[in-house]
Amino acid sequence: MAEKTLTSTQRDEYWKRTSSLMWTILVLWLIFSFVIHFFVIQLNSIRILGFPLGFYMAAQGSLIVFVILCFWNATAQDKIDNEFGVSDE
């Protein structure tokens, strides 16, 4: 693999994009790990298919979001890598 070296401005720009992706996902992680479950009592008054919504979010909803976040991180970061030509594959 021919090594591609980024100029220092390119490198800063690459890291800025990477960081902002990280922060976006981190905030969503924070919401679905903690914030949404603060409201479990209110959400439990809504029922879907028998599930009280607050219970559902902790048992399943947040988990689905976590899986999506992980795959989204992988594909979005790939896109940034390709744009800067720094993918290692």
Percent helix, percent strand, percent coil in the chain, to nearest 5: 75, 5, 20
Q: Is 17 in the site for other proteins (CB under 8 A)?
A: no
Distance (Å) of CA 35 to CA 6, 10, 69, 76: 39, 36, 16, 25
Interface residue with other proteins, options 13, 48, 79, 83 (CB under 8 A): 48
Q: Report the residue from 13, 17, 46, 69 that binds other proteins according to the rule CB under 8 A.
A: 69
**Spatial separation of the C-alpha atoms in residues 71 and 88, rounded to whole Å:** 18
Residues of the shown chain interacting with other proteins in the complex, contacts defined by CB under 8 A: 1, 3-6, 11, 14-15, 18-19, 21-22, 25-26, 29, 32-34, 37-38, 40-41, 44, 47-52, 54-56, 58-60, 62-64, 66-67, 69-71, 73-74, 77-78, 81, 85-89
